[in-house]
Each structure stands twice: as C-alpha cells, then as structure tokens.
Structure 1
Amino acid sequence: MPPRTKRRTSIADVAKLAEVSVGTVSNVLNRPDRVSPATRERVESAIAELSFVRNGSARQLRAGTITTAGAIVLDIANPFFTDVARGIEDRLDEAGYTLMLASSDEDPEREARYLRLFEEHGVQGVMVVPSGPEIEHLLTLRERGLRIVLLDRPSPDPSVSSVAVDDRAGAAAAARHLLDLGHEHLAFLNGPHTIRQCADRSAGLRDALSEAGLDVDEALEEITITALNADGGQAGTEQILAMDARPTATMCVNDLTALGALRTLRAAEVPVPSGMAVVGYDDVTFAGELATPLTSVRQPMHRLGHRAADLLLAESEAPEQVVFQPELVVRESTTGTG
C-alpha cells in the first residue's frame, strides 16, 4: 500500500511553530514591510521547516469547496495532448471538478513553476507528463497532500498511479509493416531519449529490425530533432534527402513531425510512398485527411485522459498502472500508388 498522504500544512501551523499570530504570518506573506526583521526571519524559518505553500484560492474557499485538478502536458499545441486533455476535462466535469491546464515544453524548470502555481491555488491533485525521467519532486508533492497521477508514462514507482500506452509495441508494429512492404533501410525522426516516449519508440523500432535479422546500425538512420512538430519534421527530412544512401521509408515520432516530412518531400518532388514511405505516430484527427492520408500508430487519446482523471478521483489509495495497447492504422502514405 502507498504511504498515506499528509494533511496540507496550514497558516495556523506556521503561526504555532513561529509563536506568532496567524495575522503576523499573513503579513509576512503579503506585507512583509509591516513585520520586524527578527519576527519575519522566525516566520520564514517556520515556513521552510514545514514546507508551507500558501493557498492562492483561500478567498474562494471561504465561499464553498473548490474542486480543482491540474494537468501538465508537454505541449498542448500538439493535437495528441489536446485530445488527452479533452478526455481529462470530460471526466472531471462529470465529477464536478474544474481543470487547470499547462504545457511544460519539455522544460523541468517550467514544469516545476506550474506545479508550484497549482499547489498555491489549492488543486486537489495533478496529472503530469514528466519532462524528465525523475519523479522525486512529484513524490514530495504527494507527501504534502496532493494526489499524483503520471500521464502518458508508466510509473517508475509502484506507489504512484499512471496511465500510458505501450509505445515500444506501437513502434515495433509500424516497423514490421514497413519491413513487410520490403523496406530494409529506414529513417527515424525522433526526439531526445530523455523523453520516455522517444526512448520507447526507438527501442520498439530496433526490436523489429533485430527480429528481422537486420544489422540495426546499417538498417536504421535515427535523427534527433529538437522540435517535435512540423518544423522539426522538415529539418529532419532535409537531412534524409541529403544522404548519399537515402532510406526508402521514414518513421516519425509523432504525426506533427510526419506532417513536416510530407511537406518537405512534396516540395522536393519526392513521391510518397514510391519515393519515400512515411509513418506517423498518434493518429490525430488530421492524419487521415491529408492529401496523402498518413499511416499512423493510433493511441486512445481520449481514453488515456479519461482514465487518468479516473485514477485521480479514485477514493482508493491502492495505486494502479494502466497500459493501453496502440493500433497501427494503414493508409496511403505507405501503401498508395504515389
């Protein structure tokens, strides 16, 4: 069983430890010039010792119970996370909760700022796509009373609930599809392996190539792009087109990247799929509506968000690690006549 969460430290707790009134603590927080330096130092020491975080929604709480949850994703501009967020919002709305949503842009410091902001505003829990491999900062928040659910990532700690998709299996299925079509020299436009999804998708692709008896180092050109969007896909595809021994198929870490790849291939008058097959990942809404409909690995985005919110709202303290299976959706970008 996971450790029982602690009651959130209150302003009264700080006042008791510092041996001052609640009003004095309030002045230190809001009007420090009204408090003597010695008293202010004593209060600030108590705040640090108790890890006190002011509640930015206190005024609203006086009027009734606030039921708010937070979610931090990597990039809300990515349609994948937009659909995940809609799943979260729909489930929270059923339970009478509101949602505070933010993008970390894969920046741990930005993620930390939003976590702090959410805590100050009194959220009951946070669903978060961690921007790095470590989650100690999230465990600290849980100890202070927040419910934590990892989103789009398996939990490295069995005491923390998580909702994820088997990205290794999804990438392997996509690679096997390309191998079945006769492609034995692949490019992979991927993000840094510090992002769990990127590492898992790379591993799945390599699994499939190894299973096929190919030399992975010869069969795969993995290109790390800094932006997991259409511009990143364009930059990576330009590198592929400049290769002397050009791969015959390109896998992309997500559909936005694939959109950039298709755009660049069209500009270079490389036909898809006869000149270059392209596979995306996520199967966002536009994937099947492009001029060349995109083969993609479908993730259950709405269900992912809905289930994460379920876990956050669950009264049981028993953690759950939920893993969905992806589905390969084959379209003309790999099997068409272009």
Structure 2
Amino acid sequence: MAASVKDVAAYAGVSEGTVSNTLNRPSVVRPATREKVLRAIEALGFVPDESARALRVGRSRVVGFVADDVSNPFYSDVARGAENVAYPNGTMVMICNSDGDTAREAVILERLVGQRVQGLLITPLTDDDGPLDRIAAAGTAVVVIGRRSRSGQHCSVHSDDRHGGRLAVEHLWQQGHRRLAFVGPQFHERLSGVQEFLAEQGADPDELLVLPARHADPLGGRSAGDTIAAQSPRRRVTAVLCGNDVLAIGVLQAMTHHGLRVPDDVAIVGYDDIDAAAGAAVPLTSIRQPRQLIGATAAEMLLEEITPGSGHVHRDHVFEPELVTRRSSAKRRPVRR
C-alpha cells in the first residue's frame, strides 16, 4: 500500500500539518524539520497526489506561462526568472507555446484554466484584454508580460519599448545612417519609438522601409534580408532595426549569404540582447531587456495576488531598456577607391 501523509508524519515524528506545510509552503517550516520530513518522504517512497490536492483546495500548484514563441531564447530566460521565484514557493511553471496563433492561444488558456492552475503569465498576441478579463473575473489571476494591461484589470511587466526603439534609431542616426529599415511591425511600440524620433529629426516617415515578418524568427529575418539585398546598391538601406534579436540574426544570415558586409554595407540593431546576440558571427548591437528579472517580477506579482491577505493592488512595472553596442552597428569605414 502506498505511503500516506499520516505515515510520513509518524516516521518523521511531526504532525500531519507539518508534512502538509513542507509540501505546500516549505518556507514556513524550519530547515531542520523540513529536512526530517523530506528524509521520511524519501525513505517511504511517498508521492503526493496532486490531483486529489487540487480537488481539495480548488487549485493546483502550477502557474501557466503562455509565450508566443518558446523557440526564442528571450522567453526561456523569462521563464527561468519566473521559475526562480515560483520553485521556492512550492509552485511549478508550465510553459505553453501559442506559436503566434490566436486560436491556439485561446485553447491553451481554456485548458490551463480547466487544469485549475494557480495563475497565468502571458505574452498576449493581441491588445484585446477581454479574454484575460473574463479569466480573471472567474477567479484565475493573470499577469501580462511584454505590454501594459489595457483594461487595468491585471498586473503587467514590460520594458519601455517606445524608448527602446528611440535608443536604437538614435544610435544609428548618430552613426550617419539615413536610409533605414524596420523589420517586424508587430512590435508596434518599438516601431513607434523609431518613427517618433525620425519625425523629430524632420525626416519623412514614409522613407522608413517597414518590412513584415510573419513570424518573428530567423526565417522571417532572412526573408526581410533577402528583400534588402535585392535593392539597388544606390538606394539600398544602410541600416536595419529589428523587432527582436532572432529577426536580427536572420537578417545577418541573409547579408552574409548575399555577400553584403555588416556593418560596412548594412548595419544591424536587434532587440532583447539574448545571449546569442553577443555570440553572432558579427556580434549584434541590441537593446537589452532584463529578461530573467521580467519573469521574476511577474511571478512575484502573481504569487502576491493569489496569497490571501496580501493586500495586493494591480500595478504596471516598467523596466528601462539599455543600448548595448557591438560590431554590427560600428561606424562604417570609408570605401577605398
């Protein structure tokens, strides 16, 4: 017969309540006592029945994290930050991939709520908070990552992307670039920052070449890079701003494939400063976001919201992005004739 909580308590010489706290709220148990309980659990081969617990208390010990592209290292870093907070509090993070598909996102949300998760962290695919509002109204806490909560009914954590876009384009402008492209218009706050800066410089906003990227991944970047490489050399853009680093890596790959030099022919600036940016064939200039800190902050907000008596108030936490310059945007060397 499988060991029970009562068996573990008797083996460890503690109360059943202490065993329960060790499993569910380890931070409230003294380390020495917690160690005794854990040794008893190991000795008896005790396995908690999570489904029974969820039925009893109405919630699992799982937080759902819905990201739009889990292949992007930015989201794995955000997830790590969230897990660093959740794990010591007895909670696991379940990562789900919406893959840029709003219908898929809706199904994932429905299933996570059906699994009675403690709460949800999400990088929403649209600006419509309606579905999230309905989930919260039904009793599941939601924290929005990557943008402000439009309805104000949820906490949110993000960087000031408009300012980040300005940092990127100002850097290129100071390097002398005037023919510019932006890849990934779905990053509209970052694009807006670029457009605002150009307008302040008296530049014609229509001269900014905005290139679509159906998916914000290296393939989307390569497609945009092919378009740039096909331009007439006399009219080709001299610098490319990308909505994220994986797009920038794709653009860099396309430039290399077409024999264009980075940064001498085309400079590139990414966004997020994932680890791969510094390790690219031409190290990428990027706008840095505190990726793990974003995840940790979101998890802290969520755990606070679901903790009874915490006095939680919804808030919008905004991080300041930072320009990190590398070789991909270095000042162009004059061409020798």
- Normalization by structure 1: what TM-score? 0.78
2:194 aligned partner? 205
Q: Does 1:330 align with 2:325?
A: yes
Give the Cα–Cα distance (whole angstroms) in 1 for the partners of residues 55 and 144 of structure 2. 31
Give the Cα–Cα distance (whole angstroms) in 2 for the partners of residues 269 and 62 of structure 1. 61
Instruction: Spell out, residue by residue over 1:4-59, the C-alpha distance to the aligned partner (whole angstroms, 9 max, x if none).
Output: xxxxxxxxxxxxxxxxxxxxxxxxxxxxxxxxxxxxxxxxxxxxxxxxxxxxx643
1:308 aligned partner? 298
Query: Which of 265, 276, 294 is 2:266 aligned to?
Result: 276
SS of match in other structure, 1:270: coil
What's the offset of the Cα at 1:72? 0.4
- 1:229–1:260 CA contact under 8 A, matched in 2: yes
Cα distance 1:337–1:248, how it changes in 2: closer, same or farther (>3 A)? Answer: closer
What's the offset of the Cα at 1:336? 6.2
Matches within 5 A, 1:242-281: 242-244=230-232, 245-281=235-271
Q: Which moved more, 1:117-126 or 1:298-307?
A: 117-126
SS of match in other structure, 1:328: strand
Q: Does 1:87 align with 2:78?
A: no
Cα distance 1:239–1:319, how it changes in 2: closer, same or farther (>3 A)? Answer: same
Q: Which amino acid aligns with 2:225?
A: T
Q: Does 1:217 align with 2:206?
A: yes
After TM superposition, what 4+ stretches of structure 1 lie above 6 angstroms from structure 2? none
SS of match in other structure, 1:274: coil
What's the offset of the Cα at 1:216? 1.4
Give the Cα–Cα distance (whole angstroms) in 2 for the partners of residues 69 and 235 of structure 1. 36
Q: For this pair of structures, how many residues does the alignment match?
A: 277
SS of match in other structure, 2:176: coil
1:117 aligned partner? 111
Output the aligned Cα RMSD: 1.8
What's the offset of the Cα at 1:161? 0.8
1:61 aligned partner? 54
SS of match in other structure, 1:279: strand
Cα distance 1:62–1:145, how it changes in 2: closer, same or farther (>3 A)? Answer: closer
Query: Which of 172, 175, 181 is 1:181 aligned to?
Result: 175
Q: Does 1:285 align with 2:275?
A: yes
Give the Cα–Cα distance (whole angstroms) in 1 for the partners of residues 261 and 225 of structure 2. 14
1:168 aligned partner? 162
- 2:154–2:314 CA contact under 8 A, matched in 1: yes
Matches within 5 A, 1:66-145: 66-145=60-139
Identical pairs, percent: 34
- 1:191–1:226 CA contact under 8 A, matched in 2: no
Instruction: Spell out, residue by residue over 1:163-183, the C-alpha distance to the aligned partner (whole angstroms, 9 max, x if none).
Output: 111111001100000000000
What's the offset of the Cα at 1:66? 3.5
What's the offset of the Cα at 1:267? 1.3
What's the offset of the Cα at 1:113? 1.0
Give the Cα–Cα distance (whole angstroms) in 1 for the partners of residues 327 and 110 of structure 2. 46
Instruction: Spell out, residue by residue over 1:271-305, the C-alpha distance to the aligned partner (whole angstroms, 9 max, x if none).
Output: 11111101111100011112211000001100000
Give the Cα–Cα distance (whole angstroms) in 1 for the partners of residues 63 and 219 of structure 2. 33
Instruction: Spell out, residue by residue over 1:232-283, the C-alpha distance to the aligned partner (whole angstroms, 9 max, x if none).
Output: 1110111112223111101111111111111111111111111110111110
Cα distance 1:142–1:189, how it changes in 2: closer, same or farther (>3 A)? Answer: same
Q: Which amino acid aligns with 1:209?
A: L
